[in-house]
Chains A and B, each alone.
Chain A
Amino acid sequence: MSEMRVLIVDDSSVMRKIVERSLRQAGLEPMVVLEAGSGVEGLQVLSGQSVHLILSDINMPSMDGLEFLRQLRSQNLADGVPVVMITTESSEEHVKQAILAGAQGYIRKPFTAEQVKERVLPLLTAVEGR
């Protein structure tokens, strides 16, 4: 696998590190990880850099993950880049909202590294195949 650039958006720095660890356990090496503490920060990161994958929390201050996703799509930032939501919100309604906003995957907290691998690897394989 060629070097993957991944953006992790979560207001918790601990959770960003846990997600990164899970991705590395899933075999995503070599990997460059970019971090953002909010949706606003995420948009700033993406305005200057390209990534292969975005993982975002939903409940965040200043701009939540769904609004971040809508802004991402409306500003044509990261076109074609898969987005996976990682969140404590697990109802069908939340999943539906995320998919409507443009997410390709959904991981519920708490999660295992295996679950991250199952959701993320097929998306990255598709990106690599382009």
Chain B
Amino acid sequence: MTLSLRENLHLVSDPTNLDSSVEEVFHMMLGAACRPTELAMPEEPETITAVVGFGGLLSGACVFRSGASAALAIAGKLTGMEFSEIDDTVKDAIGEVCNMLAGAWKGRTPDLSANCGLSIPAVITGSNYHIHVQAPEFRLHHVYEFESTVFEVTIICDGLQ
């Protein structure tokens, strides 16, 4: 029998799955609460973006994006260290957070969990930029608050079987 995620698009694109994935990763790995917010991400001179690709029944990406303040706070909580700049350890930490978010999100849909692989995280730093995908199947974009800082997580699906 051929699997079809398209028939269960409403389950795959359920926005509550993203919120519960973020909550789970932050609770288990950082021992901290993290909740959705209406706040916009503040403009900061430096932003960090981590991308983990999906391949298989669903193709697309999980994208974590934040300014330096959120990245330093998250990396600090995850590692128990203090950071004053986005160095290689912070990039590594944010890449791993994105990796776990991607895994937790796809794990919430059984057919997706078994038939969709994850890429190794890629991390980009620099001034303000956005990742754009032409005509995605669906896109989930949520903003979260963590210790008075703000970050955003986006699930972009550009192919669904």
Q: Which residues of A contact B (CB under 8 A)?
A: 11-15, 17-18, 21, 59-61, 87-94, 108-112
B79 touches A88 (CB 8 A): no
The 4 closest A-B pairs by CB, nearest first: A88-B103, A91-B114, A110-B28, A91-B113
Q: Which residues of A contact B92 (CB under 8 A)?
A: 12-14
A17 touches B28 (CB 8 A): no
A18 to B99, CA, bound (A): 15
B49-95 contacts to A (CB < 8 Å): 75, 78-80, 89, 92-93, 95
Residue from A15, A61, A91 within 8 A of B120 (CB atoms): A61
Nearest-neighbour CB distance to chain B for A125, whole angstroms, equals: 25
Nearest-neighbour CB distance to chain A for B53, whole angstroms, equals: 11
With contacts A21-B80, A92-B114, A110-B25 taken as known, whether A11 is within 8 angstroms of B103 at the C-beta atoms is no
Nearest-neighbour CB distance to chain A for B51, whole angstroms, equals: 14
- SS class of chain A's interface: helix, strand, loop or mixed? loop
Q: Which residues of A contact B80 (CB under 8 A)?
A: 21
A17 to B113, CA, bound (A): 27
A88 touches B120 (CB 8 A): no
Interface size grouping (class) on chain B? 20 to 34
A93 to B107, CA, bound (A): 12
With contacts A88-B100, A90-B103 taken as known, whether A59 is within 8 angstroms of B118 at the C-beta atoms is yes
A13 touches B28 (CB 8 A): no
A88 touches B99 (CB 8 A): yes
Measured CB to CB, the nearest residue on chain B to A13 is B92
B95-131 contacts to A (CB < 8 Å): 95-96, 99-100, 102-104, 107, 110, 113-114, 117-120
Measured CB to CB, the nearest residue on chain A to B24 is A110
Residue from B78, B113, B114 within 8 A of A14 (CB atoms): B78
A14 touches B96 (CB 8 A): yes
B33 within 8 A of A: no
With contacts A14-B96, A15-B96 taken as known, whether A111 is within 8 angstroms of B78 at the C-beta atoms is no
For A18, A90, A91, the residue with the greatest tally of chain B CB atoms inside 10 Å of its CB is: A91
